């Protein structure tokens, strides 16, 4: 562990990444990848009928404002949050995908430039009618380019997401090509593409309700067009979703019930799965109704329902994907606690403290057990747990031992933590040695009744002296 540890002891580190990343995905899929092709189709229809053109422009205005602000910021936010919380895994991913990320960056910059051009030149007036026509056809071409580039940025990132779940043959040959063409890549990309198109349809339908007049011709035409769009893509989304499910490695499916509903609700797994199905059913129902009676509309806000259902589904899939990958951050190669699988024998022999550059205790002694145990908690558990906030260890142990107000039993805790990975597949094995495990237990028992937040380096600061005399060369 060569990095000082950043930690949010109330909100939880996982949750910070999750909130930023999920917001980003909703905007990327729902307002860029899925929505741009719709705007483009509407613009093309608008070549004959200007009411389509006006509607398309209004929808694009919303997409433009949100994607270039919150969308772009959360994209950068994913980098910031994940490199703060897990610099090792980001480092490993960059080593494998350096070239791909470079290309992605250029594609992304092009996408931003294209959306600027596409949006800002939409209403450009040309001198003559003929020029106007030529200008418009170039504008449509920009729309095609934008649609393609938005998809390509997603297509590159999805390779990396698939790799994190199952690196496939990369674990043997360590080549970029094996990593990029991992077994989950194509099914996941296909699924996301259709899911994005469906979500884009729901967003466009909702906006259309606000941007068109109830009795206008364009309301009827656009509602019909968008509901057909959604109907067309839902079956593909389902089929691709099933395909994606089939390539998920069996080990990960064992985490599925906790992934879908957290441990507390895992028995409701079945119910939750039905809720997911009903969400899609709900979307179909509202959209079907709009298709049959485009003019008889329920209140406009009702069309937020399909959008929220689709966003809910998308967000849920992200959570499940992130969860079932555990205990790994990169399948078979690196655990979510940032340690490499191959370093475990060394760490379990020497201890994790010895191999950490920025800790206040380099080994466990009879006098420093509490402090050393806190360091062990920060290194081994804090990527996923807090002491008293989200996924709090005090709460977890209280649940396990019945919250009777009696001190938890040290030997039971020791037995549990030593074997936790065998029954709780989402947790990595304890990485340290026995002394460190004892220290961790002293610390945890210490906070059972005296909660004191375990602060990350952003609060405690870093004494540079500590790092200096604890030479970096001892790291694995």
| Near ligand HEC by CB under 6 A: residue from 155, 197, 240, 381 | 381
Q: Binding segment for ligand HEC among 168-176, 243-251, 277-285, 420-428 (CB under 6 A)?
A: 420-428
327 binds ligand HEC (CB under 6 A): yes
| 195 touching ligand HEC, by CB under 6 A | no
Residues 392-411 that bind ligand HEC (CB under 6 A): 393, 396-397, 399-400
For 330-357, give the secondary structure using H, E and C: ECCCEECCCCEHHHHHHHHHHCCCCCCC
Q: Supply φ then ψ for residue 463, to 5 degrees.
A: -85, 115
Among 384, 394, 442, 447, binds ligand HEC (CB under 6 A): 384
- Is position 351 an interface residue for ligand HEC (rule: CB under 6 A)? no
Stretch that binds ligand HEC, among 19-27, 145-153, 230-238, 381-389 (CB under 6 A): 381-389
Residues 262-321 touching ligand HEC, rule: CB under 6 A, are: 262-264
Is 8 near ligand HEC (CB under 6 A)?
no
Cα within 13 Å of Cα(226), Cβ side:
36
Near ligand HEC by CB under 6 A, which window of 22-30, 64-72, 365-373, 391-399? Answer: 391-399
Q: Return the DSSP state at 329.
A: E
Among residues 334, 447, 349, the alpha carbon closest in space to that of 393 is found at 447
Closest to 420 measured CA to CA, from 453, 404, 444, 403: 444
Give the nearest distance from C-beta 221 to ligand HEC in angstroms.
Answer: 48
Residue with tokens 């003559």: 128
Residue 372 binding ligand HEC, by CB under 6 A: no
| Nearer to ligand HEC (CB atom), residue 272 or residue 305 | 272
Site size toward ligand HEC, by CB under 6 A: 26
**Cα–Cα distance for residue pair 373/441, rounded to 1 Å:** 7
Peptide bond into 336 cis (omega under 30): no
Contact of 195 with 25, CB cutoff 8 Å:
no
Q: Identify whether the C-beta of residue 354 lies closer than 8 Å to the C-beta of residue 365.
A: no
For residue 335, list its beta bridge partners. Answer: 328
Minimum gap (Å) between residue 369 Cβ and ligand HEC: 15
Stretch that binds ligand HEC, among 56-64, 128-136, 261-269, 301-309 (CB under 6 A): 261-269
Is 164 a residue that touches ligand HEC (CB under 6 A)? no
Q: Is 392 helix (H, G, I), strand (E, B) or coil?
A: strand
How far is residue 233 CA from its own chain's centroid?
23
Query: Is residue 427 close enough to count as binding ligand HEC by CB under 6 A?
Result: yes
Please tell me whether residue 417 binds ligand HEC under the rule CB under 6 A: yes
C-alpha 158/C-alpha 163 separation (Å) is 8
Q: Does 380 bind ligand HEC (CB under 6 A)?
A: yes
Q: Which residues bind ligand HEC (CB under 6 A)?
A: 258, 262-264, 326-327, 336-337, 380-381, 383-385, 391, 393, 396-397, 399-400, 417, 420, 424, 426-428, 430
């Amino acid at each position: 562990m060569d990095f000082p540890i950043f930690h949010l002891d109330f909100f939880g580190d996982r949750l910070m990444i999750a909130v930023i990343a999920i917001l980003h995905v909703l905007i990327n899929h729902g307002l860029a990848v899925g929505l741009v092709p719709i705007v483009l189709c509407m613009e093309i229809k608008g070549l004959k009928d200007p009411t389509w053109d006006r509607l398309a422009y209004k929808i694009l205005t919303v997409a433009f404002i949100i994607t270039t602000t919150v969308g772009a910021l959360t994209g950068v936010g994913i980098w910031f949050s994940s490199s703060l919380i897990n610099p090792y895994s980001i480092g490993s991913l960059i080593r494998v995908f350096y070239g791909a990320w470079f290309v992605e960056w250029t594609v992304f910059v092009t996408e931003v430039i294209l959306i600027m051009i596409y949006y800002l030149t939409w209403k450009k007036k040309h001198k003559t009618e003929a020029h106007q026509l030529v200008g418009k056809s170039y504008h449509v071409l920009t729309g095609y380019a934008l649609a393609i580039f938005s998809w390509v940025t997603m297509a590159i990132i999805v390779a990396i997401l698939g790799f994190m779940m199952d690196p496939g043959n990369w674990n043997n040959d360590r080549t970029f090509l094996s990593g990029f063409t991992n077994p989950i890549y194509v099914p996941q990309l296909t699924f996301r593409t259709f899911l994005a198109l469906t979500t884009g349809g729901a967003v466009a339908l909702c906006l259309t309700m606000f941007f068109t007049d109830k009795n206008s011709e364009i309301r009827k035409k656009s509602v019909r067009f968008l509901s057909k769009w959604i109907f067309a893509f839902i079956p593909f989304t389902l089929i691709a979703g099933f395909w994606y499910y089939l390539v998920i490695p069996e080990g990960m499916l064992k985490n599925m019930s906790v992934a879908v509903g957290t441990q507390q609700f895992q028995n409701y797994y079945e119910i939750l799965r039905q809720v997911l199905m009903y969400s899609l059913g709900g979307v179909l129902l509202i959209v079907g109704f709009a298709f049959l009676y485009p003019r008889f509309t329920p209140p406009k806000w009702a069309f937020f329902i399909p959008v929220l259902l689709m966003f809910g589904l998308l967000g849920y899939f992200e959570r499940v994907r992130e969860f079932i990958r555990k205990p790994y951050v990169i399948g078979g190669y690196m655990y979510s606690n940032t340690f490499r699988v191959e370093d475990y024998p060394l760490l379990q022999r020497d201890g994790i403290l010895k191999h950490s550059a920025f800790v206040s205790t380099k080994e466990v002694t009879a006098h420093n057990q509490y402090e050393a145990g806190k360091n062990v908690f920060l290194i081994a558990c804090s990527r996923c747990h807090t002491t008293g906030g989200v996924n709090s260890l005090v709460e977890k142990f209280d649940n396990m031992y019945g919250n009777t107000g009696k001190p938890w039993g040290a030997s039971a805790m020791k037995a549990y933590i030593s074997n936790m990975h065998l029954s709780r597949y989402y947790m990595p094995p304890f990485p340290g040695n026995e002394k460190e495990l004892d220290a961790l237990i002293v610390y945890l028992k210490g906070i059972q009744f005296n909660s004191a937040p375990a602060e990350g380096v952003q609060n405690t600061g870093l004494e540079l002296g500590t790092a200096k005399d604890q030479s970096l060369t001892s790291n694995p």
